[in-house]
Every structure is written in C-alpha cells, then in structure tokens.
Structure 1
Amino acid sequence: MGKIESLDFIELGNHPEKLVASSKQDLYTLCYPSEKMPVPSHYADFVRNDTVMLNNFRSFVAHRPFHWAWFLRLLKIRGLDESFLEVPGELSYSLQNPCIVAIPHFGLHMLVPHVLGHFIRQDSMVLATGNEEGEGVQDSIEKILPNDRTRFLKLPDRWILRKLMRGYQSSHYPVIYPDVTSSGDKRFRHLSFLETSIRVPLGVENLSRLCKCPVLPVAMTYHDDCYRLHLGPTLVYKEEGSIIFPLFSWIEELVHLYPDQWFGWNFLHEMIGEAKLLR
C-alpha cells in the first residue's frame, strides 16, 4: 500500500488506508527537525529562557503533525477509546443539552470538535469554525472518519454569529476558539493575562448572550501517547465580562500548567498589539 509521504491533512485524507497501515515509527520519521523550530519571544520570556522548556516548545511544534496523524489513526481503528484519551467523567452530562463550546489553542485543538461529536445528542452536530486551512482539515477528517458529526463553517464571515445562533436554535453545538479570531469581530475587551494587557474578541460572550445559553470551555493536551481533555467551569452570561473574564482566567491556569502546549504564543503579540518576535 505504500507509506504516507507527509503528515499534512490533505495527504492523510487522500490516503486513509495508508494512515491505518502506518506504524508509529513510520509517522515519527515525517516530523520536522525540532532544533529548527523558532520560539516566540513571549514564551521564552515566560519560561525565563530555560533550555529544557525552550526545547519542549520546539518539540511540541515539530511533533504536532505526528500527533494529528496518530490520534486520527487511533480514532479510525478503535473509535473513542479511553485507553488513549482521558475524558472527564462529567463531560457527557455537560453536553447532554446544546451549549457553546469554547476551545482554546492547546494541543490538538482542531480535533477537539470531532471528539465532542461522540458525546452530543444523536440529533445534533458540532458546528466547528475556522479559516481556509481549517476547511481543508475538516474535509480531510471527513474522508478519514466518514461518520464524523461535525459541520464546518468557514471564516471570515460577517454573519458567523447569526449562523452559529441559528445552529444552536436547531439543537446544535457551536464552537468558538476564544483566544484568536478570524471572523472580523469588531468588538474587543481588554483584560489582564499573564501579567500584561491583551485585547480579546467578544464573539463567545456575544453568542452566549444572544442564545441565552451556557459556555463550556474544553481543551486538549497530550504527553507521549496519552491525550487528555480538560473541562473548565460552565459559564453563564449575566453581564458584560461575565464570560470573558473567567474564561481567560481558566486559560491562564492551563498556560501555567502546560506552557509549551499553548499554540497561542504564536499570536500573543497580536493580542497585545505589537510586532511578532521570535528567538
């Protein structure tokens, strides 16, 4: 059958049979050289230029394509199996009714919606959002997992909140990535994050207010072959800031626990409003 020639989603989606036949060693050989991976300056400052932590981030970026492929392979072969994915016991209860899911950019954030599809109501879909790259990811995953219960809405889209609202009203589960926006959202809120001031889009809070529904924060991290879902506190809109402030407080806690697995370091400069710096 041959081997996977690269770990990009197009290659994986076009050859799911090769993905299934590939061993872990086959897939590891296609990772990037970690020593060539740049490190965002804000991350370097955060870890005080600790060599081990700098290398951990380089390794995270270099091996991330492998984990995309390996996790999809496990889902394809085993289905959702808690031998490789640690799932909080309360997840099924939290998803028994449609809600907004906020997924920060940790670990394999693009695959979280496809995991959540295993826990939602039978008549529902997870409404994932993303840019053109995300659309390609979704198309490939649908080829690998043809019974996937995720629908993709492409950004930028000036009507995205309206579409997500209508989706929620139809008993679906809208997904928003709260720590970056591609939606052209014009409303932002300044808040304190990692001892600096950042501005964050208010899309998730606006959607919660309009839908009158709770927000469930979910993130994924991994170590070696063990993947783990994290649940944040269920958030209910009461007033401006009642979603955004506790949500980013939870994200900050995760950053302190798993600093090398937050992809947000790559766009933190945009949130602060400065030029990008790498080391």
Structure 2
Amino acid sequence: MDIEKYKVSEDIELQKISTLEFIEDAEKKLKKTRKKLADLQDTMYAEGKYSALICLQGMDTSGKDSLIREVFKQFNVRGVEVNSFKVPTELELNHDFLWRHYIALPAKGKVGVFNRTHYENVLVTRVHPEYVFSENIPSVKSLDDLNDEFYHARMEKINQFEKHLVDSGTIILKFFLHLSKEEQKNRLLRRLNIPEKNWKFSSGDLKERKLWEQYQECYEDAINRTSTYYAPWFVIPADDKPTARFIVAKTILQEFEKYNFKEPTLADKDINKLEEFKAQLNNE
C-alpha cells in the first residue's frame, strides 16, 4: 500500500479529499499488520533508543476510540500508553497550553497515543475563542486579540515543540480521520437508535455539528501549517472504519520499519559464559 498518498507534503483542501475508501478484507489485513506492529514495538522497547507519539484528531464520531482499541490491542501493555485530552483542569490551565501534553509524553521504548491532542488548542479554541480566556494570558484582553496571528503563532510553537521531541528521539505521526458530514449524521443516529449506545450521545454533539464548516477550515489551516518532514500529517478516509484502521496501522508499521530497531545484545563477558550460566541453572 502506498502510504505516501495520505501524507500531507503540500497544502491540501479537505473538501477535495475523499472521505471514503474501501479496502477489501481490511479487518483480516489489520490482524496481520497489528501483530507485526506489536512485534516491532517489542524490539523498540528492548532497544530503548526511540519513543513514538501517535496523534489522532478528527470530528466527533470519526472513530478514534475504536481505532485505538483495534490497532493497538496486541501491544504489550508495558509498551503503550493512551492519553485522552478533554477540557483542561484548573491545574492544567495554570500552566502554558503545551504543559499537560509534555508531561504525558512516552518514555524511550514506548508508544504514546494521544486521543485528541495538543492541536485542540488551535482547533476547538479557534472555533470557541472565548475558551482561551481561561488560560489567563496577559496579552489576551479581548476577543480581538484572538486573531489569525495569535493562532498561527501558537501553531509555530507546536512546530518547535515537535521538532524538539523528534531531535530527542521521538517518532511523531499525526493522523486526521477525515469523516464526511453525512457519515457523522449516520453515526449520531446510531447512538440514538441503539439503546446500549445512548450513553455515547451528547446534545453538545449537535451544537458542534452546526459548526462543521468552521472546524473544517481550522483543521485545514492547522494541517497545512504543521505537517512537516519531521512530524507529518496523514489524512485518512474515515467513513469506512475497518479501512481507516488498517491504513493507520499500515502507515505506522511502514514508518517504524524505517528506523531498523534492533534488540540489544549481551556484553561480550556474558556471551562467553552462556554455557556456564546454563550449567549453573541445570545443576540446581
């Protein structure tokens, strides 16, 4: 599969990118891919040289939660950490906007998954700029201060943040689950029509849906300004969940393979004594 067609290497227009792709036997292919991915992550963990940060963004119902469950289900639990970022707490608001993300970063050898990410700070807050007032930024005195210049400067800070992480050994892959408005309606209706899915529904989903076009504009601008060679964005067609999951898993696998992770070897002094160690154990 050519993952390059999903990578954002030049400015995009989301409305011109299809939200629907169907890959035959995607679920079966995902099973094979996630096993390879889990094995590769075990080697990365043993090597302890790199960490990886997988960023997932998308409109409500785009399938982030189920994608995490299906793609990473075979990972050793010690090697993967999932964080979901919702409304900032009082403590988080008393720090800069990247602080809560920085302290959640994966250690070397581990894969960190951000379900919603630091990009919420240039997406949700751009659609609802009044939220920024909770950050108590000295230079922000009115809504007039929360203009394009403010958000573009914040995006540049994100670029610098990610560059610092990459230089320190973190592999960053960012995925936008590109969902159609029609498919979102179908998924919201499913939550309403199936009793055991009711708990997933929030009336706030409908309020946010009315702002669909604004969100698409903000996503497009953020993706274009922050897809870099060191931390690329991938736009994934998300109307078919099995296909989206397989594409994400395959992309992560192919990107990880570029790093040629290697398990560490025993020190020469221990290698020369392997037979002696075996004998000690067998003679107990």
**By percentage of residues, which structure has more helix?**
2
| Alignment TM-score, normalising by the size of structure 1 | 0.30
State which structure, 1 or 2, has the greater radius of gyration over its C-alpha atoms. Answer: 2
Q: Which has the higher contact order (CA 8 A, sep 6+)?
A: 2
| Alignment TM-score, normalising by the size of structure 2 | 0.30
**By percentage of residues, which structure has more strand?**
1
